[in-house]
Each structure stands twice: as structure tokens, then as C-alpha cells.
Structure 1
Amino acid sequence: MQLQKDSNPALNTVTAYGDDYLEINRVRFRTAVSFTPEGPIRSLELVSPADIDAALLRGLVGLQDTHRDPLAFLDDAPPTLPPGAPEVVLIGTGSRHTFLPPAVTSALLALGIGIETMTTQAAARTYNILMSEERRVLALLLPGDPEP
């Protein structure tokens, strides 16, 4: 399905999708991908939403794994986000909507980064809208059916 007639070549735009592919900037991908409006499109070796874990999400957002002092919650300063961190992470789980376990999403939610899971088609449309509104959005999209 064609999503958008004209695209800004400076921004990553989902231009089409099908049952087993995604097209970003008119380049077809048959693997899971992660991208923001600006920057590289990363192919990921994910087959289903069950392959998504907290470490992957933290890495995509740019959070460093650090060991915090167990009493750090007593400090007034909240944890800081890396420069350019997304406001929201959209996760397209294929042709079926699948929620992620709270253990996978809790670290980002605690930092104020929204996480939305939906079908990949819905996530692609939502990404294009948020990107066109100049929102800081990160998409992680799995093509096709997540079930074997």
C-alpha cells in the first residue's frame, strides 16, 4: 500500500508497506528496522515481538547501562536523557498487535519516554504523522506476521 506521494528526502519516511516488507524512502526492507526522522535506518535481527527486550530498547534510545547507587532515588536530580532522545517509541509488532511485558518497557517509561505498541501498518502511519509534526519519534517496525 502506498502511504505518501511526496516525501522530504532529508527525513526518513515510510513510503509503503506490505505483508512481508517495509519501504522507507522508497527502499524496501524485509527485516525488522529501527529509525528516527534523521539518521541511519538500522536492520535488526528480530523475528517476533518476543525478541524485543529492555536492553535493545535502551540501546536504540541511546541510554548507557550504568550501575546506579541503590540510594540514588534520594537525589533531587532525575536521570538525564541523552541528547536527541525520542519523546515516543513506536513499536510495530507485525500484522497482530502484541503488548510488550512491563519489564521490557519500564526503564524508558520511568524516564518519561512514551512507548506505544500497535500493528506495523498503524505504527508506520503514526510515525509519518509524528515525524511530519517534527516530533522526536523512534520507530521499531517488524514486517509481516509475527507468528511463524
Structure 2
Amino acid sequence: MHLQKDTNPALNTVTAYGDDYIEINKTRHQRSIYFTPEGQIYDLGIQSPFDFTTELLQKITGVCAAAKSPMDFLDHAAPRFENPEQIEVLLIGTGKTQQLLPPELLHELLNARVGVEVMDSQAAARTYNILMSEGRRVVAALII
């Protein structure tokens, strides 16, 4: 299905998708990928939503552990996480059908104030285009 006729070549826009591909700026990808509105399109390196790890989600969003204060032990504070890329939303497309992820995988992202939405990959592609067109800091991770 074609989504948009006109694209801004400076922004990564989903221009079409099907059961076995996703098209970004009219370039077809037949492997799972992740991307932001600007920059490169990266190989996700997984083929199932059950392959997501906390480390992979951190890599995709740039979320990392915050520097510890020497006094943190006094408050028994849980580890804090930073969001240096200022990502607002991570859209996870889980393939042809929606597959929810275990909540413990998402804890660090939510702690860093990154919203996470999990849906089938075609819905995630459509949602990405809407958020990207609004100027939102969004990352799409789409399993093909």
C-alpha cells in the first residue's frame, strides 16, 4: 500500500509497505529496521518481537543509565535513566500482528520518559508518519 505521494528527502518517510517489506523514501527494505525522522536507517537485527532485549531498546532510543551520585545510597534510589536524544515515543511494529512485550523490557524507557507504543508493523508505519509530520521526536522499530 502506498502512503504518500510527496516526500521530503530530508526526512525518513514511510512511502509504502506490504506483508514482506517497508519502503522508506521509496527505497524498499525487506529486513527489520529502525529509524528516526532524520538520519540513517538501521538493521534491527531481529525477526521476532520476542527477540527484543533491554539493551536493544536502549540502543534504538539512546536511553542510558544516569550518572550516579555518591549520595544515592542514602535514599535507596532506584537507578535513573537519561534520554539524551530527547526521544518522545518509540513505536514498535511487531510484524503482521500485534504482540505485546513484557513490561520489564520497557521499564527503563518509561523511567526515562519515553512513551512506548506496540502495534502491528503496518499500523506503526502509519503512526510514525503522523508523528513525524507533527515534528515529534519519534523512533520506529519495525519487524518485517
TM-score, with normalisation over the residues of structure 1? 0.87
Question: Whole-Å Cα distance in 2 between the matches of residues 66 and 142 of structure 1?
Answer: 29
Report the RMSD for the aligned CA atoms in angstroms. 2.0
* Percent of matched pairs sharing the same residue: 50
- For structure 2, the residue ranges without an aligned partner over 5 or more in a row are none
Residue 103 (structure 1) shift? 1.3
Question: Whole-Å Cα distance in 2 between the matches of residues 85 and 67 of structure 1?
Answer: 17
Aligned residues: 140
SS in 1 for 2:82: coil
Question: Whole-Å Cα distance in 2 between the matches of residues 65 and 79 of structure 1?
Answer: 4
SS in 2 for 1:71: helix
- For structure 1, the residue ranges without an aligned partner over 5 or more in a row are 144-148
Question: Whole-Å Cα distance in 2 between the matches of residues 72 and 103 of structure 1?
Answer: 25
TM-score, with normalisation over the residues of structure 2? 0.89
**CA shift digits 1:28-49 (9 cap, x unpaired):** 1111100000011001221110
Q: What residue in structure 2 maps to residue 47 of structure 1?
A: 47
Q: What residue in structure 2 maps to residue 113 of structure 1?
A: 114
Question: Whole-Å Cα distance in 1 between the matches of residues 87 and 20 of structure 2?
Answer: 27
Question: Whole-Å Cα distance in 2 between the matches of residues 136 and 8 of structure 1?
Answer: 17
CA 1:72–1:139 in structure 2 vs 1: closer, same or farther (change >3 Å)?
A: farther
Structure (1 or 2) with the greater strand fraction: 2
Question: Whole-Å Cα distance in 1 between the matches of residues 16 and 119 of structure 2?
Answer: 17
